[in-house]
C-alpha cells in the first residue's frame, strides 16, 4: 500500500536538528508521516546525533511509531506515527544531551493525551546550544498553559560532559485528541477554543528575576553568588524595577555553572496577567577559564538587548512557540529578531499545517 510521506529538506535554512525535532512533534500530533533527507548535511558532524535518536525513540514509545534510519550519523529518516497513548515515560539520554531539546519533540504531542501523564527525563539541563531548564520553565511553559496544565520540576542539574541531570514534567491535558474522529476536527476545535497569542507590546516592566547556579564542588569560590552579583549590578543601573536573583548549588557529576534571567511585563502596572504572560529571558553558561563575573555580565547584557528591542517575545522564544501558534491561528507576536532558526521552524511547521505564517521583517511581527 502506498503511503504519502511529507518531504522535508533537512539542510534547509540553518540546517540544524530543530527540523527533525519539530517534524517529529508535528507528525505525531497530525498523524502525517514524513521523510527528512540531508539531515544536518552542512554540519561538521552531519546526520542524526544521539539526542535526535532519543527524540524518535521517545515518540515511538508514546505512539508506537515506526522510524527508519534512526541511527547515529544517519542523513535520512522516515517516520510513521500511530495513535498516541497516554502513558508515563522514563527516558535516560545517557549523556549530557539536552533535556529541553528532547522536549521540543515530545512535549507537543504529550500535551494532548487522554489523561494526565508524567515524563521523567535524565540528561543535560544546562548545556550549550539549547534552552536552559530555567528558561524552559519560566519563559516557554507559561506560554503553553493555554493548551494544558504543565508543571516542571528540576530534580537534579546536569552539566556537560557527563549530564545526569533529571527533570519531571507533569501534564494534565485540557484538550484530548482521542475525543475527535481525526486531527482536522481536533485542530478546528483548538482554533475556536484556545486563547490566541497577541504579544505585540512589552507594556510595563514589573520585575526582573533570575536563578544563578553552580556545581557544589565550586561553592567555595562563590561562583553562583558572583554571577548573580555581576548581573544584578549591571541591571540595577539600567532599570528602575525590583531585581531578585537567587543563588544555588547542587551535587553534579560534572563541574558547571550558569545563570538565567527573566524580565516580567504586564499591561497593568500593578498586577501580572498570568493568562497572557509577557516574559523575556536571557542566559549564559560558565566554562573553564571564564570568570563568573563575565557569565553574569553576558546574561545581563543579553537581557538588556532584548528589553531594548521593545518586543514582548525574545528571539529564542519566537521559534519555540511557532508550532503552538500554528495550531490556533489568528495570532500575532512581535519578536526582537526573526532568526534563521525561526525561519527554519516556519518552513518545517508549514509542511504539516499549511501556509500559516506571514512575516513582517521590518517590525519583526509573525502572523498566523
Residues 6 or more apart from 328 whose CB is under 8 A from it?
146, 190, 191, 194, 196, 197, 368
Place of cell 503511503: 3
Instruction: Supply the pTM of this predicted model.
Output: 0.96
Instruction: Give the CA radius of gyration of the chain.
Output: 20
C-alpha cell of 30?
A: 497530525
SS3 content of the chain, % helix, strand, coil (to 5): 35, 25, 35
How far is CA 7 from each of CA 4, 19, 76, 77, 130, rounded to the nearest angstrom?
A: 9, 12, 11, 10, 26
Q: Cα-flanking dihedrals φ and ψ of residue 348, to 5°?
A: -70, -45
Q: What is the DSSP string of 55-100?
A: HHHHHHHHH--EEES-STT-SEEEEE--------EEEE-SSS-BHH
pLDDT digits (tens, 9 = 90+) for 53-82: 999 999 999 999 999 999 999 999 999 999
Instruction: Give the pLDDT band (50/70/90) at residue 1.
Output: low
Determine which one of 52, 187, 316, 341 is catalytic.
341
Q: Cα-flanking dihedrals φ and ψ of residue 182, to 5°?
A: -160, 175
pLDDT digits (tens, 9 = 90+) for 66-123: 999 999 999 999 999 999 999 999 999 988 999 999 999 999 999 999 999 999 999 9
| pLDDT score for 2 | 60
Active site residue 229: no
Mean residue pLDDT of the chain comes to 95
* C-alpha distance across the termini of the chain, in Å: 35
Half-sphere exposure of 263 (CA within 13 A, CB side): 33
Amino acid at each position: 500500500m502506498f503511503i504519502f510521506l511529507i518531504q522535508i529538506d533537512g539542510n534547509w535554512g540553518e540546517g540544524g536538528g530543530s527540523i527533525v525535532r519539530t517534524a517529529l512533534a508535528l507528525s505525531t500530533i497530525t498523524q502525517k508521516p514524513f521523510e527528512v533527507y540531508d539531515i544536518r548535511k552542512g554540519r561538521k558532524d552531519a546526520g542524526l546525533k544521539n539526542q535526535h535518536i532519543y527524540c524518535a525513540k521517545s515518540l515511538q514509545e508514546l505512539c508506537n511509531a515506526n522510524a527508519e534510519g534512526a541511527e547515529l550519523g544517519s542523513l535520512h529518516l522516515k517516520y510513521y506515527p500511530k495513535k498516541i497513548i497516554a502513558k508515563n515515560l522514563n527516558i535516560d539520554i545517557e549523556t549530557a544531551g539536552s533535556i529541553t531539546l528532547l522536549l521540543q519533540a515530545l512535549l507537543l504531542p504529550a500535551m494532548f493525551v487522554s489523561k494526565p501523564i508524567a515524563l521523567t527525563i535524565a540528561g543535560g539541563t544546562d548545556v550549550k546550544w539549547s534552552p536552559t531548564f530555567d528558561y524552559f520553565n519560566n519563559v516557554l511553559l507559561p506560554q503553553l498553559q493555554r493548551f494544558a496544565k504543565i508543571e516542571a520540576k528540576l530534580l537534579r542539574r546536569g552539566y556537560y560532559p557527563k549530564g545526569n541531570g533529571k527533570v519531571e514534567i507533569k501534564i494534565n491535558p485540557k484538550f484530548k485528541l482521542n475525543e475527535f474522529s481525526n486531527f482536522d476536527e481536533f485542530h478546528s476545535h483548538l482554533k475556536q477554543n484556545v486563547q490566541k497569542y497577541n504579544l505585540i507590546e512589552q507594556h510595563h516592566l514589573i520585575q526582573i528575576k533570575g536563578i544563578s547556579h553552580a556545581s557544589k564542588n565550586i561553592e567555595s569560590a562563590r561562583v553562583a553568588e558572583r554571577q548573580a552579583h555581576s548581573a544584578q549590578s549591571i541591571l540595577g543601573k539600567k532599570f528602575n524595577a525590583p531585581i531578585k536573583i537567587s543563588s544555588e548549588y547542587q551535587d553534579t557529576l560534572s563541574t558547571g555553572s550558569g545563570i538565567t534571567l527573566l524580565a516580567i511585563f504586564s499591561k497593568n502596572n500593578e498586577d501580572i496577567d498570568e493568562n497572557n504572560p509577557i516574559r523575556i529571558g536571557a542566559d549564559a553558561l560558565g566554562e573553564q577559564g571564564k570568570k563568573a563575573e563575565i557569565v553574569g555580565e553576558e546574561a545581563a547584557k543579553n537581557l538588556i538587548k532584548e528589553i531594548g528591542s521593545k518586543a514582548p517575545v525574545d528571539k529564542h522564544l519566537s521559534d519555540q512557540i511557532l508550532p503552538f501558534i500554528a495550531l490556533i491561528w489568528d495570532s500575532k507576536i512581535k519578536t526582537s529578531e526573526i532568526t534563521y532558526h525561526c525561519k527554519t521552524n516556519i518552513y518545517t511547521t508549514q509542511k504539516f499545517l499549511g501556509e500559516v505564517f506571514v512575516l513582517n521583517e521590518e517590525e519583526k511581527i509573525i502572523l498566523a
